[in-house]
Structure 1
Amino acid sequence: MSIDAGYETRPEGVNSEHQSKRRKENSARKKLAYRDYAVGWVAALSEEHAAARAMLDELHQELPQKEGDSNIYTLGRIGDHNIVIAGLPSDGYGTVNAATVGKDMHRTFPSLRDYLMVGVAGGAGKAGKFDVRLGDIVVGDKLVQYDLKKDLSPHYFETTAVPLRPSQRLRIAVAKLKSVHEAEESEVPTYIREIANNNPKMKRYSIRPSLQDLLFEDTYEHTEPNEICDTCDRSKLVERQRREHDGPEIHYGVIASGNSLIKSPEKRNQLVEQFKALCFEMEGAGIIESLQCLVIRSICDYADSHKNKLWQPYAAAAAAAYAKELILAIPTSENQESKLVRDELLFGEIKALQDSLSFGSILFREHSIQSPHGDTCKWIFRHSTYLTWLDPKERPRHNGFLWIRGKPGAGKSTLMKLIYTSLKSKFNAISFFFNARGDLLEKSSQGMYRSLLLQILQQLPTSQQEQLFRHHPLLRSIKPGCIKWDNGTLQELLSKAISQFVQGELMCLVDALDECGEDEVYDIVEYFEKLGKLASEAKVSLFICLSSRHYPSISVRDGITLMLEDQSGHRKDLGEYVNDKLHVDSVNAEIIRNTLIRKAAGVFMWVVLVVTILNKEYQSGRIFAVKKRLNVIPDELNELFKDMLKRDNNNMDEFLLSIQWILYAREPLKPQEYYYALQAGLDYEQGDLGEWDRQEVTIQNMEQYVLTSSKGLAEVTKGWHPIVQFIHESVRDFLLKDGGINEIWPSLECDFQSYSHNVLKRCCYAYIGARVSDTSVPTQDQIISSSFLRRFPFTTIAIRDVAYHSRAASVKLSQQDFLESFDFTTWTALCNPCSDQLTAYEVCESLFSLLTSQIPDDCSIRGTAQKSTHYHKLPPVLDCPFYHGWTPLGLASRENHGDLIRVLLDRGVDVNGRDIHDRTPLFYATLYGRQWEAIRRVLLRTLDRTNAEDDTKILELLLSRGANVNIADKSGETPLHAAVTCGHTSHVQLFLDHGAQVDAPARNSMTPLHLAAMKRHDEIIELLLNKGAHVNTPNKLDGRTPLHIAIDGGKPLPKKPSPNYGTRVNQFGYNDRIPFHIAVNGKESAASRLLFEHGGWMNAPDGDNIMTPPQQLATINKVVKILLGRGAQINTPNHTGKTALHIAAIFGYKKLTEMLVSYGAKTGISDNDSKTPLQLAVENGHSKIVELLQPLTRADKKT
């Protein structure tokens, strides 16, 4: 077994990282309940399953396997339909296996209404009157099991099968799609192409095999051992007429199903003649009778001896593509549509709350604990206390509460990780491992509650999460990105989540509870006691296991306690470790081992350190001194640390700097960062801080340097993100809590923390200074190259943290001289190569600290615009572009860092300074509001911006200092364009009041009025028109006026109608389809806001576009009416010749069409394709528009 917290490691190998990535991806997906799925999809082959999965618009989280169901499911969504995909066992083809899969699927997902059997089949070829070719699709309107027979004579059988049909609902959907294909091309080729676009590894699914489609004569047998027919006689091919296209044809008819594979043209032709079968497969009959499924097949061979697998991937993709097109044609009710959209919005809100619970290092401590040594720790699974804890019959006695206590370094964390690993493989489990070396959330009760709540939410179905949050004030009153969690709210939500947990037993493990303060420990234990009782009352099987050091003053009323060092199994673990690691072969070896275990008193950390000391004595030849050395080694861990350090007084300056970096670094350092951090602080020659020569100094050298410089008290963790840390938390306690610093360095200043930060600041600055030479300062080419940071690995830490340590040191030590001489030129130059490692906000904070750290505490300038008398001279470089090409003021405005904005303005920076995009700080201050609002619209129900006043104050501040409101960027956009786009009415008014040009044209002559029409901001449209905006200006791209754009949302018009008449939330451009509706920012329903921000669209059915939210239709009508009332020319065509009436007819906006007609829209105008609004309404299936326009069009023609 390893020690409690020492010898930590992250998971090793690519496999662990891949599994972690998959778990993370799965947890980020939506999780529904079993009852939420409506379509079952069975795929027999692995290629068929892969093709089916590729057709999903969205993947969902996996659900727990139900008892008795061995199917493996893939869950997701196509359009509005939630899909369950099930595969057959790899060796289990045929009707019987298919029937078993279908039965289990129906039992697990009882709400399934539609079932599809989708995959490949052998084709009829040119038998009879059919011409079915490889890659063609066969939709089974009938299915017959051809191998059901009765005996008529010794040599003659008659098939007794009765043709089976899919459900009436599916037959209607097939008929509907078939009628669409009479007039329009199928979407199947598009869906097939997209497989490769979305999944590069699946290119063979999207490309027809290079081998030709070969159909040989019935009498010609395949004789070569090779499956491929490249040596077969081409003169035996059946002559077939060449098709005009390469895409698959869709056939409708009989599919023959049986339990044997047909590889005989005679048998194939017999079945074609008897049943008129188009293809032959092996599973459909197994589920169609009980589940009335629809069988969809694509041809991969001709059911003859020339059968091979080359066409299987493409055929699987073709069948899956048709299945997707069919699913999109299956209608859903309006109520269901509204619920789906509402659920989408609520899911987005819940996802935002989940994201706010998480923090970057939430799993670090758990992953960093090494696995036990050998077979140690496994005694716990046989221990009577542990078994009593898990025994349901004993639960009333202990309320599912187990507390493992032990001395520091005893090995509690290693034991807890083993228990957790075991439990989570069998039960639902959540855990938190406190990390005293981590950031605040890693070592606080709030971090624990956040982590536990997040984990349990990820295990709850979406429906239960919605029930938990639906009416919670968090969804209404908290700003995105700034959710302020408190322990009370977290405890409330965690209690509610656990009380409604019905997914089986729930294990909750919390390690190293003592890393909190003692008051926090009291509160945590009290809460968990209440939680255990609450769970019992709610009939929830909750098991809680805590671990900590001994707390004699804290106990639990109902619970079990296990003292680790008192357990015989633990003592045996110590003995096993000593026997394995102690290399002493003297006659006193047994005495030494027994003495070592006795003195350890159950502390594994002590054993690990002492074994190392004794091995060194023995290996140096001092065999006689081993026993004596053991006898004088202190029994207590703290005294052992002190003894180790007193015996080695070499390089104490290096040791001091080592512990300062480990104690006070902003975050743990990597080995290479640690190496150069110490080099920078030990007064070596500047050349030692140059480029890292990996030939001269290897990672192994650096890891050894960690051990020697820290005198064995620090280590490098193993795994994929190695860092430097103390070997155990007790080292930190010894140095800080138990006075170790003062004992070793009694002459140091009393405020060791400020003193240390000042030292670390100098290390960072020394490393920055070493970059001043011509060969080290990065050029623009070097900035682009990621190799710069590999060559100078401490750069990012030095650039980011020099300000952090300066501000931390300023609590007790003046920074005036340091900051007045600070080299901002080099610092800003080095921000660029670090731009991928530093966030914009971190750069702002660093710059703010560098400009203000010398200001006394009683003159804090946060939130003020004064105290300028305390500023040192502003370097000219801070008025030029640097990080990502932004100026400091532009960056501060983009990040809404008001404090830095005030400091820079007070120092006289150019308020109109442009960055590399020609954008000014005013533009970014406006754009920030747009980004904030975009998040708000997706995540929150409320539309009021709680931070709008702050944004406006920033804009007013910039304007009061001379910001020019009409400066355009390289695309011609001004701050007014940005304000209009994000829908900030108050900002638009502010800019207009400050002289913004109301008709300023951006790229393609898009004026602010075009943008307002696109977003359908009626209030902003009124503001712009009142300021004299021209209502009939066409843009240069396609000639659309604000009137056109108000109707079509500024997006390209669809080329043809879609068979999907349901609401679909996807990104723009999905499946080459163009969004039909652009939601109305600021006035629409919450559902349409979500659809807009996610780039979604709605494909409307016949009539007055009932799938468009009523609020959106009303707003479109309102905006159009405003424009018409202000002089918009109603019959002006765009570049394609379409008027406003053409566009309304395409979308099926009935009331809008009536309004346009009433305002004088001409119905007889033809577009560039010679189509009138009436013809477009017909093509798009809007019968009510047709009824309205038909008589008017006749009248126009007569006129």
Structure 2
Amino acid sequence: MFRRDQVLEFGQTSTQFHGSGIQNHNGRLHAGRDIIINSATPKADESRDDLHRQEVLRSLRFEQMGSRQQSIKRAHAQTCQWFFETREYKSWLDTNKSQEHGGFLWIKGKPGVGKSTLMKVALDHTSQTFHGGDSCIISFFFNARGNDLERSTTGLYRALLFQLLKARPDSQIVLDTIEGGLQWSIESIKQTFERALKKLDHQQQLICFIDALDECKEQEIRELVSWLDELSCDHPLHACLATRHFPNITIRKGLQINLESRQEHIQDICCYVRDKLYFKDDRRLATRIRVELQTKASGIFMWVVLVIDMLNREYDSGQKHKILEKIRELPYDLHELFRDIFTRGPGPSQGLLLCLQWILFAKYPLTPRQLYLAIISGTEPNYLVRCHSKEISDDDVERYILNASRGLAEITKSWRWTVQFVHESIKDFLVKENGIGTIWADLKTSLEGQSQEALKRCCLQYQTTVYALLRQTVSIALLRRLLPEIVEHRKVISRKYPFLEYANDGVLFHADQAERHKIKQDAFLRQFSTEAWSKLQDVFEVRGARWYWPNVSLLYVLTRKDYSALIRASSLHSCFDVEGGPYGSPVFVALATKNFAALESLLEVFVKRRTFDNMSCRDQIQLVRLDYDKMAKNNFRDFVFSRTRGVVSHLAEFGCSGILEIYFSTSIYLSDPDSKDEDGWTPLSYAARTGDVATVRLLVDRHACVNNRTGKGWMPLHLASLKGHLEAAKLLIDRGAEVDMPTRDGKTPLYWARKKKNLDLEKLLMGHGAVLEQVAIHDGTPPYETVAKDEPPLYGTRPKAPLKFTKTSINDDAKFRNTTTDRSMIIHLSRDQLETIKLILEGAADANTRYNDDGSTILCSVSRYGYTEIAKRLLDRGADINATGNQKKTPLHWSISPYRNLETVRLLLDRGANVNALGDHTETPLHLAAWNMAIVRLLLDRGANVNALGDLAETPLHKAARYGHTETIILLIDRGADVNAKALDGKTVLHDAAESGSMAIVKLLLDRGADADAKSMAGMTPLQLATLKGHRKAMNILRNHDPHTMDSSSNEEVSSDDEISSSDEEVSLPDEEVSSSDEEVSSTNEGVPKVSTSVETENIHGVKRRRLTRDQYAPV
């Protein structure tokens, strides 16, 4: 319907529509020629914000949030109304008097006096009074018989915030900054509440009712009161609190009402007695009874309610003449009244005891029908089948419970009806004062243990009976399917046998609780049917992934349910034994479900029953406790045990070093630490990838091979480097891991450290001999070009000034290490090498001592890292300047390293080093120096052969072209390098340049006379190689080259800035796919052509020689 004043001319539109009743598919209303009104469509951002806010609100809400308030019975007519006329209540709501009382009204009283009833009346009355106004009313009623949130301050804060946001939707804007799925803490709730409160207008007062605050801890009460007091300083706040007299909490300001001492409350009791006593025909007797009850009640309303009910029953039974005498016999104390009720009449029965035990110790509150069947299971099991008949109505069940509990239990009619005591003081009497032990003497010393045992027997009886019935009528195995008709049939079973789900789960729960209270369960466990239990459990499990496999053991079940006491009581198999189920063995069940109490019990039992290596049980378990934080962070949700990997492999992957220690310590498990799975991964491989140092150390201490390779060639050091685990990498290297061993696709640990930009790991690897050559091949950067020409090296910490040692400083190891300008020697040289240097310089050792397996001398290592001053002193001590090791490299070869040791190279040449010495692969120092212009010039000046041939007949010019160093290429050609020299495979320098795709170098070589038509042994020209590799720019230069127009005398230099990166010219070829275990550590080398591991070439004599390719090339 339209507003009368809404008149629009033809062609106008309105975004507002005041009314309802008109809808169509396109959201527009056409009314002739006079009006068009568009429905307002919410913006996408506003819709998303609203959905997010609703999600956060749902995360605040919890089950049974308002159940306690709903379960409080309505106050008797004409009672509690006096409260709203009191000076305290009126002053409390008077904002003008807030400075006097601080907004606090505290209602105190004894247990059973009627505080909760008054609070509910006050909440309803205040809500009606301020309905539609500017006030916001929120409340929370603690429920001592409810779940954790119903009886904790966490639940209180969540409920108050939820109600505030619902009452004032405009304040929900504070939820926009809260991430979905937040796990609410008390502090986060408080902060959100305070922000939401600031969104309220200052004239809008906040009224808060909190009942039974004494149900939580005293410190929590003090923190809550302090917080409310702080809130009242910034916003009008009125808080009404109800507690017992203890604990006594002093507040800065506030009003207080002592309920039992108020005359108006006594009048309410008189009013109740007058209306509820049945024998009103005898007014004289009724008056005397009212006087007697008023005197004895002492203001305790619950006492009056229970006594009135007893007197009415006496009157109905014709015992009117005994009523006054009975009243005089009644105890004044409420707890003594409970005792009288339990022992009066026929005396305490088994049904009464079971009723009390179920209400007191059930896992969660039972429904009336569940409690009825639970009591019958313990008292009259032969009638269980008949008790499931439709003839048993809800009224029958309610009367049964009322009679069994002697009227002290009631049904709470919230959204889920449950049975509880009519007042919390009954539980106080039975448990805290051990009232149940004074009535049943055999429960006096072990109340909870005996009670849990009784409840276990009830559950077992019901489970056994119903399982037998189901086996006769339906295939339980069939119920493990998820077909729609099967799912519906499972629902039918659940409705027909309402206690079955609780009984099946409860039989183990109560057995575990009984064991905790010293009631032995070993006989029960020996006779327990795991098959029947798992089949029934699956009937109520909605998700098929959580079903129990048919052949799981009892230990597997107990671990998954976290029944640690039963695990300790069991004499079952080892927790490491692999069995049915997705988790393989019980120890992985505990890890996957994060049931650490069960895990500790499993290991404790395992340790006590076996002989171990010099460690007590307590020490063993302590090792596991140290891993708890680490285990808690692991995501085991989708874990599935692999039987091809085994126990050790999975424990190593999860970093469970403490559990592994226990596993290895027993003589019954002689597991091979180097066992491999189908992908070639060992336990050490998984531990290195996880990076858990304790696990890595444990495995290598057990003689696990640090250089085992997976199917793809990955060693543990590769995996630790990939994941950036520095400490694990250190440990592996210390135990002999090869730092330069490539994977099957040619990647070294240093490649991964550099790719992940992990400088500390790079320093570690470089300090132990890793080189950059292979890294450069895979990341597109020429080797050693990562180091700026005028800067100290990036990898390692070469000293900026010569090292200065004195004889005295060398004699003192600590001083010796501290005399360097930095700590580079400690990084690059091992302790043995440092000790060797000391001994040589002291004259106590031969300067040519071979200090390691490769046969090299200490001068080689010192030369490699550029310690020129030490090299000079070693030479003075007689070190052989041309000594070689197994790799045939002289110190001069070693000095040409990524540390740009120009001074060291000059020293060695000055002292007579052979400038053309042949090293590994018959390469000269000039071959190795092709990347460094300054060293190349120095070597050439000292007589280096510019056309020296290496093992593959490659010249230094080949190397310079391959690495892309235009300045070095120009220098070599100027010094006489043969631009058309061929290697063993027939390739010229131009072939290499065309294959790498460097346009600048191809142009330079052509300008310097390179033969564009030269063919390799395979018959390929440079143009054909460039075409094969897809280097379009290099192809164009070669295709357009005219040798007749070439200026052979041109010395024009081509700047390296003109080079075209390989990523612009090359066709990316991805690495081969890896298996599932290697998938995580595999990568794709963009812009780097795939090269074979090796090729066989034939030299001029017809002898086949194996040619190393870039993947295998590893110079210094």
Q: What TM-score, normalized to structure 1?
A: 0.46
Q: What TM-score, normalized to structure 2?
A: 0.49
Q: Quick one: higher RCO (CA 8 Å, sep 6+), 1 or 2?
A: 1
When Rg is computed on C-alpha atoms for both structures, the one with the higher figure is 2
